[in-house]
Amino acid sequence: MSSPDRTATLLESALPRAAITRRPADDLLGEIPVAAPDSAEQWSEVLRLAGRERLCVLPLGLGSKLGWLRTPERLDLALSSARFHGVSAFEAADGTITARAGTTLAALSEAVSATHHLSPEIALPRASTLGGVLAAGTSGLDRLRHGPVRHQVLGITVALADGSLVKSGGRVVKNVTGYDLHRLWCGSSGTLCVLLETTLRLYPRPAREAVLEARFADRAGALERARALVRSAVQPVAVVVEEQGSEWCLSVVLSGRDEIVAHDVDEMRRGLPGSVLHEGADAQRARAELRDRERPDGTWSPLALACRPSRLARELERLDTALAGRGLRATQRIQPLLAHVDVRIEGPRERWLELDRELDGDAQRRWRSAPAELMRASGPDGRSAPELALQQRLKTALDPQGLFADGRPHGGAR
Amino acid sequence: MTKALARELRRLLGPQGVIDEPTRLLPYESDALALLAVPPELVLLPRDTSQTAAALRLLARHGVPVVPRGAGTGLAGGATPVAGGVVVSTARMRDVLELNVEDRFARVQAGVVNVDLTGLCQHHGLLYAPDPSSQMACTIGGNVANNSGGPHCFKYGATTRHVLGLVIVTHDGEVLDLSEPVLDPLGYDLVGTFVGSEGTLGIATEVTVRLSPAPAAIEVLLALFRSLDDACDSVTDIIAARLEPSALEILDRLTIEAVERSVFAAGYPLDSEAVLLVELEGTEIDVAAQARDVLAILERHRPIEVRRARDPVKRKQLWAGRKGAFGAMGRIAPDLYVADAVVPRTKLRELVARTVEICREANLRLATVFHAGDGNLHPNICYDRRNPEEVKRVLEAGHRILAECVAAGGALTGEHGVGLEKLAEMELYFSADDLAAACRLRDAWDPDRRMNPGKVVPSHACLEVRSARRAGTGAAP
């Protein structure tokens, strides 16, 4: 491992002094230099330098998902996209936008908002960069309508460990030229490459939005109403059930053409008597608040569960039993039509590991911002040896020297 | 290929699982790109994942190259056999393994025909969205290999957006079971990376696909125009107005003529220069509102006539000419070179005009059908493969068209894939570093490079990576 001072001195040969800072030590990482290149050439140069000097690097956006990683065994340098931002091209008539990795989701949304909607609709978009969202594979509030973040990507340019700049996909909305390497980059947690520039597809800006909120005495009632939506012709942007004090709140976001939203609102209000309707600017505010409640105090929930929709009720019961058995309590935020649950746990963290063992059912578990012991223990999750071996071969093929710190939370192959 | 190996394969797969008689091998000499034909030595037809794995383990021990094949409807030579190799066909893997209506997915064997899955879903108010023009014959496994599209991919996206899981047999006969439908992959996205890899990373034997709710209402608008430019401009305006039809398709004059002289005749007037098909889907109110806005745009471009249909039988009639277009072209030429390129949707008119010019300069007849909403052009060049000089001109014109599309910010292929056909053009689109990264990906999946060798990535790009490794400067898996 290179000392922080030596690393900082080495960096000065590749970058201007303004691009080099020092990150104070915290719970996850020790004190390390941070390099913030502002051009593709600088990214290449820094990576080549790191390769020559056998440094171990961690790409960073704004660091909001650092807690999702396992603590890397070794780390010499963080590479920040903070100075590499901006929209390279917004093709409104073609419905695409190309931007650098350090651009915040808020900046991207604002750039297109006159004509388009940008997906993913991420919580606290001013605190999330495009590169960070893609590297973590984080989808947003609008996933039910527009799909996961990896489906929004038309092409990505990355810098590999050897400093080479590599493109996959392109800037057009349909393209099967070559391998979809960008699918590999999405969700790879910065362990294979640094994401530099991405082209996303856009969606038409809706003419009208509405948010309906209905309160229920219990979770089952809220979930039953949400499931009824599947059987109706209404196609919401988002359906969220949240635990709020002693009540459960069902929120439904609708958007689209005037006539459609008006019709859907009428239909839904018949099924949700007493619900509160937000329209116009009020709907935009309610939608943004619903989006941001995924990170109520700026943090992510430490546990996310996902399963088949038909198994959701059973998995929630399993969660209730496991929490009660360990003397833990949790606030739940459920997207029932996606069968995704964010679990904000309260109670002694040393019992979380036991909770993890108890939850070993059909649901996929993702721990993030959890105790280090749990992050280390939450492992391959039943994946087969051939799958884990292939994951490791991909890491070795694309980063043979192990330049990128391997803090994959769920990579399994270590 | 030794006789002993063939005997062993027959023992593993049974007598119906191996074809080695020359007459029965003939249909496997090429896919739908008949220009590139290579006689295969052996064709294997495993019945399921375990037979496929057993066969691939044996072939790995003998170092035999493997060419996966679905229905052979591909248009880029992706299923062209390779010398000394075997073709592994999924034609006998035709079972639907699970149809889960509540969770809206189906798990099928790779050889299930696209239209059969569509038909099965319809009974449950669901649909499998990707609908390539060859959907009557092409298989779900083939669709996965090519990341196939089709007219409705404009709204629903290509195959990759509908694949939730896969069972893959790798080069050495190992089985990767990634079939459980999950919201997000844990670790690297192996399924997403595999889709569109054209058989070079392994063979998909089972596919889990997402099913979508069938729309409550559908309306088809068919507009006839006096010029191709008017049809293209209508599409550009529909996109710019941020309307969202489920399909936007254009046929040019020569295609109209071919269709009208065939059994697919749809009643298109022969004096029209272009047909634009617009399909709208949604609730009744949604479709009515969309139709109003689309009609207003069409009217601005002075159509000769606009026909509308809501009734399923009448809708099918309006689509008949488009769906039958490729079959109908058999009447105007013995062979058809179906090109495939993508352009930014703002440059449709300009690039369509360039394809016409290029073919005129090469003295070739061009019939154009395209997925206009996606900017996915299909210039269909008529030729006779018995005329080598004409074949040469066709290939040169195809290359020029691709070069123009790439220069305009487009891509080499929107849905047919690279296969063998576009290997040379890969270097127009990708840099040496891009291709080297593709080679690294391929080598992680198939270090022996026996899966569909010589396809998708130019071999010399991978050779460079190999040399770098020998020199100790690159990857060493």
> Looking at CA atoms only, how far is residue B21 from chain A in angstroms?
35
* pLDDT attached to residue B325: 85
Q: Please tell me whether residues A241 and A161 are part of one structural domain.
A: no
Tell me what percent of chain A is helix, strand and coil, each rounded to the nearest 5.
35, 25, 40
CATH code of the domain covering residue A331? 3.30.70
The encoded tokens of residue B247 equal: 């399909």
How far is B470 from B477, CA to CA, in rounded Å? 12
Q: Is A280 on the interface with B (CB under 8 A)?
A: no
Phi first, then psi, for residue A218 (nearest 5°) are -140, 165
**Cβ distance of A394 and B188 shorter than 8 Å:** yes
* pLDDT attached to residue A377: 66
> Looking at CA atoms only, how far is residue A320 from chain B in angstroms?
22
pTM assigned to the model:
0.95
Q: Please tell me whether residues A226 and A185 are part of one structural domain.
A: no
How far is A42 from A21, CA to CA, in rounded Å? 16
Residue A414, pLDDT > 70, answer no
Whether residue A354 is contained in a domain is answered as: yes
- Residue after which a domain boundary falls, among A154, A186, A204: A204
Q: Please tell me whether residues A238 and A182 are part of one structural domain.
A: no
CA distances from A260 to A254, B287, B289 (A): 9, 10, 9
* pLDDT attached to residue A408: 67
- What is B217-398's CATH topology? Vanillyl-alcohol Oxidase; Chain A, domain 3 (3.40.462)
3-state secondary structure of A213: strand
Domain that residue A214 falls in: 208-292
CATH 3.30.465.10 boundaries in chain B: 96-213
Whether residue A20 is contained in a domain is answered as: no
CATH code of the domain covering residue A282? 3.30.70.260
Q: Compute the average pLDDT of residues A101-120.
A: 98
**Cβ distance of B189 and A187 shorter than 8 Å:** yes
The highest-confidence range among A2-11, A60-69, A110-119, A379-388, by mean pLDDT, is A110-119
For residues A247 and A204, is the Cβ–Cβ distance under 8 A?
Answer: no
Q: Is A233 on the interface with B (CB under 8 A)?
A: yes
A51-90 tens-digit pLDDT: 999 999 999 998 888 888 877 878 999 999 999 999 999 9
Residues in chain B predicted with pLDDT less than 70, given as ranges, are: 1, 463-477
Q: Please tell me whether residues A226 and A311 are part of one structural domain.
A: no
CATH 3.30.43.10 boundaries in chain B: 3-89
- Residue after which a domain boundary falls, among A292, A319, A347: A292
> What ranges in B70-167 are assigned the alpha helix state H?
114-122, 140-146, 153-156
pLDDT above 70 covers what percent of chain A? 96
Find, in chain A, the residue whose alpha carbon is nearest to that of B440: A397
Tally of domains within chain A:
3
CA-wise closest residue to B397 among B448, B358, B425: B358
- What is B96-213's CATH topology? 3.30.465
Q: Where are the beta strands (DSSP E) in B78-216?
A: 86-89, 96-100, 105-109, 126-127, 163-169, 175-178, 203-210, 212-213
Q: Please tell me whether residues A115 and A199 are part of one structural domain.
A: yes
* pLDDT attached to residue B183: 92
A230: Cα within 13 Å, side-chain hemisphere? 19
3-state secondary structure of A113: coil
Q: Please tell me whether residues A190 and A247 are part of one structural domain.
A: no
What is the b/e burial string over A179-194, where b = at least 16 CB atoms within 10 angstroms of the residue's CB? bbbbbbbbbbbbbbbb
How far is B455 from A2, CA to CA, in rounded Å? 43
Sheet strands side by side (includes A77-80): A20-23, A32-35, A77-80, A57-60
Q: What are the chain B neighbours of A162 within 8 Å (beta carbons)?
A: 474
Which CATH class for the B3-89 domain? alpha beta
Q: Please tell me whether residues A168 and A139 are part of one structural domain.
A: yes
- The CA-CA-CA angle for residues B325, B322, B116, to 5°, reads 95
Residue B375 is nearest to which of A174, A181, A408, comparing CB atoms? A174
Whether residue A337 is contained in a domain is answered as: yes
Beta bridge partners of B341: B377
Q: Please tell me whether residues A145 and A247 are part of one structural domain.
A: no
Higher per-residue pLDDT: A31 or A222: A222
Residue A358, pLDDT > 90, answer no
Q: Please tell me whether residues A263 and A342 are part of one structural domain.
A: no
A90-103 tens-digit pLDDT: 999 899 999 999 99
Q: Compute the average pLDDT of residues A377-399.
A: 84
- Residue after which a domain boundary falls, among A144, A179, A204: A204
* pLDDT attached to residue B477: 26
Residue B444 is nearest to which of A160, A387, A393, comparing CB atoms? A393
> What ranges in A1-39 are assigned the alpha helix state H?
4-11
Residue A398, pLDDT > 80, answer yes
Q: Is A306 on the interface with B (CB under 8 A)?
A: yes
3-state secondary structure of A238: strand
Q: Please tell me whether residues A245 and A272 are part of one structural domain.
A: yes
Residue type, position B78, single letter = G
